[in-house]
Amino acid sequence: MSGLSHWQLDGSAPELYERYLVPAITAKWAADLVERAGIRPEEKVLDVACGTGIVARLASLRTGSGHVTGLDLNQGMLSVARKASGGDGAIEFIDGSALDLPFAAVTFDVVLCQLGLQFFPDQGMALREMRRVLLPGGRLAVSVYSPIERTPGAHAFVEALDRVLGSDASLIKRGEHSFGAPGELEELLFNAAFESVRVDTVVQGIAFPSVLDYVRFQLLATPMAGLLDGRPESERQALIDRVASEVADTSDPAMLAGGVFSFPQEAYVGTALAPG
């Protein structure tokens, strides 16, 4: 497996998320989501669960400066989002919960929510909030991962994690994949009184320079970092190496061709309209 000497490993989890996981994974989904939403110049756009702001930044390229708001409840993610967007106020980043959006009704042309819905304790309430803040006929675009077995790299990772760190170790990662079928997202959107609901199953090709890179950044740049907290550096490194070896041993050789770790990643991407 290749080393990581060219990657800077210092920094907080949100900084590492922005530096490594966004370009490899979420930027691809963001380009697709923004395209599906058909964002036009000067439209008002809200990015719910914006994280470090990749969706908001791509949306802002289409609307122009001053039209996009990002919202998240994680201060660390918001502070990286502000830095990554240039810190010039072109995008406003707000601390808040998806369950209680701090905006007046009938405010936005477009609401986007990428890979966040699965974490919300009340998904119906969050979607009703998104509908409330949309203008009549306003557009929603929302994505969630499909079952983890449908994304072989992530599946090999959680199986390895459980073998190395115990059977609860992968709960956070498995939780990202809690939607079992496109119909579950469709039903939530209908129940939140959206119209013209459509959910597509979409696949992106994901590639990391090596298995070790993939495992390391899953374990350092996401909430899974808590699994390694408090352990000496030598033990953390040994655990990362063990998980990476297990992932390599159990992955289809085609996923490891040329030393690169590559696999298809699947998500359900929903679009819908607020009642006109």
Ligand X SMILES: C[S@@+](CC[C@H](N)C(=O)[O-])C[C@H]1O[C@@H](n2cnc3c(N)ncnc32)[C@H](O)[C@@H]1O
The one segment of 37-45, 116-124, 231-239, 241-249 that binds ligand X by CB under 6 A: 116-124
- Interaction of residue 123 with ligand X, rule CB under 6 A: no
- Interaction of residue 115 with ligand X, rule CB under 6 A: yes
Residue 98 or residue 110: which is nearer to ligand X going by CB?
98
- Interaction of residue 218 with ligand X, rule CB under 6 A: no
Interaction mask 63-82, ligand X, x per CB under 6 A: ---------xxx--x-----
Contacts with ligand X: how many residues (CB under 6 A)?
19
Residue number of the CB closest to ligand X reads 51
How many Å apart are CA 82 and CA 207, to the nearest integer? 27
Could you give the strand order of the β-sheet that contains 68-72, starting from the edge strand earlier in sequence? 91-95, 68-72, 45-48, 108-114, 134-145, 261-273, 195-208
Q: How far is the CB of 217 from ligand X (least distance, A)?
A: 13
The interaxial angle of helices 233-250 and 211-220, nearest 10 deg, is 130
Q: Where are the alpha helices (DSSP H) in the chain?
A: 13-16, 27-37, 54-63, 75-84, 123-133, 152-165, 171-175, 182-191, 211-220, 233-250
Q: How far is the CB of 155 from ligand X (least distance, A)?
A: 18
Residue 23 or residue 137: which is nearer to ligand X going by CB?
23
Contacts of 73 (CB under 8 A, 6+ apart): 95, 96, 97, 98
- Interaction of residue 219 with ligand X, rule CB under 6 A: no
Contact status, residue 223 vs residue 231, Cβ threshold 8 Å = no
How many Å apart are CA 230 and CA 77, to the nearest integer? 22
How many Å apart are CA 76 and CA 221, to the nearest integer? 12
Q: How far is the CB of 176 from ligand X (least distance, A)?
A: 7
Among 32, 45, 46, 51, binds ligand X (CB under 6 A): 51
Quick one: tokens of 73? 């409840």
Q: How far is the CB of 238 from ligand X (least distance, A)?
A: 27
Interaction mask 10-39, ligand X, x per CB under 6 A: ------------x---x-------------
Please identify which residue in the block is written with the tokens 């907290």.
Answer: 229
- Interaction of residue 98 with ligand X, rule CB under 6 A: yes
Residue 49 or residue 247: which is nearer to ligand X going by CB?
49
Contact status, residue 192 vs residue 127, Cβ threshold 8 Å = yes
In the complex, which residues of this chain contact ligand X (CB under 6 A)? 22, 26, 49-51, 54-55, 72-74, 77, 97-99, 114-116, 119-120
